[in-house]
Structure 1
């Protein structure tokens, strides 16, 4: 069967933009009615309605669940929403890169802590959260060290994947090089895990009780860039982003790598990767990188009524670029 992505590429001229004055729209959730929910560095999410109007929904610590005034103050200063997922009741699960915990926020902003320790130990830099069709919550921890930029290293592999279900929270797979976004395939048989510092995608075959039965690299062992976000389309292509070198790519079901959109600034990117090989990356190396569209591509989200509009999340953009895909996205758990 012919792959819908055969011969398909995108340029800046194919894009349009959604939202305005956003701050760090790293992760985007789409709903069937056309609504978008974007993580925002001001502490919460921006709801972009189908008519284009938008509103910031700011987090507030829910005092009904034991939060103190001191805790609320610390929370307001430290929050940095990163990965998002809809819970079964429509509230928003937030992997908070600032507070180092998994949180649940109602659509009017009331926030409670879901998880901040596993077996009595702080969970670390929680990056992404995903809910599957069984209602289980999966999350990634990029690193256990506090300074996450120091974890962009070819020598560190302390990231892990955890699950939260009726049996509690536990680590299901460990030893990843800066764990980032995760996605299940259509059958929820394999969980695909981004290893940002590994510049690859690893997949885990998941069995009963969220046990890992197999673990293998999917696609190239080195994609040539730091991967951040991923999403499946309905054909089985795994789309993804190269953060800082700003590319949208796809890995076919056969494992072939294809670049869809390239907004790289090659000089700074080359310097970044050279420094990475020496384990000498600095914030200046990273900050010098980025394209013109929405610097530091971070995620891809399928939306629109036919799931054929693809939205690009970013770490340094203020708007959300979008384009039409030749194939629909794989519906997420909240869409079904």
Structure 2
């Protein structure tokens, strides 16, 4: 493992998620301040929108407009000319909060949800991966996923890989020209699928909990390990070939490759993720470290 300097890009958040790099800046959501912000590499913030029902995943449609996940009311919102409007309603397909997403070249959105109320410690349940087409139509494209979370699409557009945060694995699909997912398979496995019947039991059985992530040009994934206080670089199959640990015991809950050369890893860090502990605090930070292999694919 390579030793790297980890610097602070921005501080004073409640809980950062959904980091993206675009147009020379980082774009992030903050769950509990409800803000979507653009943050320059030198730490200057511009608040772009406020999402009252909790923002999460971010992405851009082919026309360049920003779309934002609104978690608690299960909607995707579109930001245009400074105004938010509803782009799609996924309520009937969600068992828990709507979460992270990835958008393919055609503008189709692939998005997961929690599957159950993790904040209340409910019994864990599997969830679905949904596709949202440009007309707002919602289609379930995969089911039985253990907390589908950060996803990537390979540069050639042929493969979608989704992290199962509570499943100890990444799962891959062939991504067809019509947007369907086929040939489901395990892309990386860190341990057995947990068998606990409570959230605490499941978390205790996790080896790595893949959260927000980014694909690099060698086909490896940098993943936030939500139970390991680190970001890990994962090879196909599941070997961890590199890691960057967060300072001060902070957890890492999302990451993204960016910067002008694609070799800066931004990490969203906080002491934990629980709403009742984070909402009233401002202890979340954005951390950055230089890595060797640049970003590839989507997002």
Global fold match (TM > 0.5): yes
Deviations 1:294-335 (A, max 9, x none): x331111111111111100235553211011111111536xx
For the residues of structure 1 that align with 2:174 and 2:60, how far apart are their CA atoms? Answer: 24
Counterpart of 2:35 (choices 38, 41, 44) is 44
1:107 is displaced (CA, Å) by 6.5
Match of 2:146 in 1: 177
Counterpart of 1:301 (choices 247, 256, 268) is 256
Counterpart of 1:113 (choices 86, 90, 96) is 86
Match of 1:123 in 2: 94
Query: Of the two, which has the highest radius of gyration?
Result: 1
1:198 is displaced (CA, Å) by 0.7
TM-score (norm 2): 0.81
Match of 2:175 in 1: 206
RMSD: 2.4
Counterpart of 1:83 (choices 57, 61, 77) is 57
Partners of 1:93 and 1:129 within 8 A in 2: no
Partners of 1:219 and 1:257 within 8 A in 2: no
Partners of 1:29 and 1:84 within 8 A in 2: yes
Match of 1:24 in 2: 15
> Residue 19 of structure 1 aligns to a residue in which SS?
strand
Give the number of the structure whose residues are more often strand, by fraction.
2
Partners of 1:243 and 1:296 within 8 A in 2: yes
Partners of 1:152 and 1:178 within 8 A in 2: no
For the residues of structure 2 that align with 1:253 and 1:122, how far apart are their CA atoms? Answer: 30
- Bigger mean CA deviation after superposition, 230-239 or 80-89: 80-89
Does residue 1:98 correspond to 2:53, yes or no?
no
Match of 1:164 in 2: 132
Give 5+ residue unaligned stretches, structure 1: 1-7, 61-75, 264-290
Match of 1:276 in 2: none
Partners of 2:223 and 2:231 within 8 A in 1: yes
Give 5+ residue unaligned stretches, structure 2: 192-205, 272-282
Partners of 1:9 and 1:260 within 8 A in 2: yes
Partners of 2:154 and 2:298 within 8 A in 1: no
Partners of 1:308 and 1:328 within 8 A in 2: yes
1:151 is displaced (CA, Å) by 5.4
For the residues of structure 1 that align with 2:285 and 2:117, how far apart are their CA atoms? Answer: 29
- The number of aligned residues is 271
> Residue 314 of structure 1 aligns to a residue in which SS?
strand
Partners of 2:17 and 2:254 within 8 A in 1: yes
For the residues of structure 1 that align with 2:107 and 2:176, how far apart are their CA atoms? Answer: 15
Counterpart of 1:9 (choices 2, 21, 28) is 2
Partners of 2:190 and 2:238 within 8 A in 1: no
Deviations 1:205-255 (A, max 9, x none): 122322222111112242712221221101111111111421211222454
Does residue 1:150 correspond to 2:121, yes or no?
yes
